[in-house]
Amino acid sequence: MWRNIASTALSLAVVLLIVLGGLVAWGQRQYVGPGPLQTAICLQVNPGSNFSRVSDELAGQGAISSAPIFRIGAEYSGKSQSLKAGSFLVPENASMAQIIDIVTRGGASTCGTEIVYRIGVRATAVQVRELDPATERFVTRAEFAPGDVQIPADYMRLRAAADTRYRIAMAEGLTSWQVVEALKAADFLAGEIDTLPPEGMLAPDSYEVRSGDTRADVIARMVAAQETRLAEAWANRADGLPYGTPQEALVMASIIEKETGLATERREVASVFVNRLERGMKLQTDPTVIYGITRGQGALGRGLRQSELRSETPYNTYVIDGLPPTPIASPGPASIEAALDPATTDYIFFVAKTLDPADGHAFAATLEAHNRNVAALRALEAAQANQ
């Protein structure tokens, strides 16, 4: 009898093991296989949340087939204590394993609502944007200028929301004064900026910040980023350049930045100025003269006068030899790289091709060719004036 009981118990154990193994295999397939989500969603994980709440939220939105399996998977993978707060884009058919990776890997949020503070050369704008999970594109809900009397209600509402993200987008070619003045008007930042950063040393880029971050910390991040870019470009510079320090290269990069907005011709513009330095010619570039007048505090707002082109100032490159004493703006990485790896040309002149800056410049190696290019531009100007 005992033998029969033992045999039955053994059989039952085997069946249970088979069933358990089947359940485990099924659970694994549920965990790593494509999920049931038909349309991408934006999952919000609040600070202090946990995987139990997240799993219930995902199950409620139809993103996972089983909340318990999701929690077990997080525990089994060792990520149950690594949940990050933020707003995360969960793509359609994402597996539980993929979702757990998304909400634990850290970094910037990937969806939801963000306030973008755009510091441009001519103006600063505040944009309220929201990612549409279905198209994975941001939609602008509101836009206004700092200091506007009428502030959009969406902005005021989102300023009070804990999960709203903030980004500062700094354009290329801005002066330190322009950046500092713009940051002073950013109402989501705190603190003062005691000293003006060195000209040229604020890296144009997009910076994710938090409400309450100090302006000084944002400036420090910009300076550190520019130092890194400049050091890397300097380490990889071409041989035989006519400037001997990273600072001189930064001055050249800032001139290139203000002379052209076209990535395709930055190295050619750099070659013109390098060729002029090597031949002992004056740089003769208007942006440096303008900087000497404005000191970077806004646009000149008019054309240069002949008296200003003749006036001897440290920034008048029609008068002085070589480079001006400091950069005239903060150049982007492409202009820094162009200054340190210019094209090999015999160009020493350039002028706008047309009245549209997007058409770029006509380059010349001789004064005769340059004069023809200038005459062509003057003809276009005269034709427009007669219309």
pLDDT at 367 over 70: yes
Return d(Cα 89, Cα 230) in angstroms, integer.
35
pLDDT in tens, 249-265: 999 999 999 999 898 99
pLDDT cut 70: percent of the chain above it: 90
CA distance 285 to 273: 9
Better-predicted residue by pLDDT, 280 or 49 = 280
Report CA Rg, the chain.
30
**Could you read off the pLDDT of 196-248 as tens digits, one per residue?**
999 999 999 999 898 899 999 999 999 999 999 999 999 999 999 999 999 99
Q: What is the DSSP letter of 359?
A: G
- Nearest in space to 94 (alpha carbons), one of 135, 46, 131, 41: 41
CATH annotation of 29-110: 3.30.1490.480
* Separation in Å, CA 160 to CA 155, 157, 169, 180: 9, 6, 21, 25
- Amino acid in position 261: G
pLDDT confidence band for 325 (50 / 70 / 90): very high
Per-domain residue ranges of the chain: 29-110, 113-230, 237-347
Q: Are strands 349-352 and 361-364 parallel, antiparallel or unpaired?
A: antiparallel
Using CA atoms, how far apart are residues 88 and 100, in angstroms rounded to an integer?
11
Long-range contacts of residues 219-224, Cβ cutoff 8 Å, at least 24 apart: 219/179, 219/180, 219/183, 219/193, 222/170, 222/179, 222/197, 223/197, 223/198
What is the per-residue pLDDT across 162-180, written as a single tens digit (0 to 9) for each?
667 889 999 999 999 999 9
* The two three-digit tokens of residue 13, written as one number: 């154990």
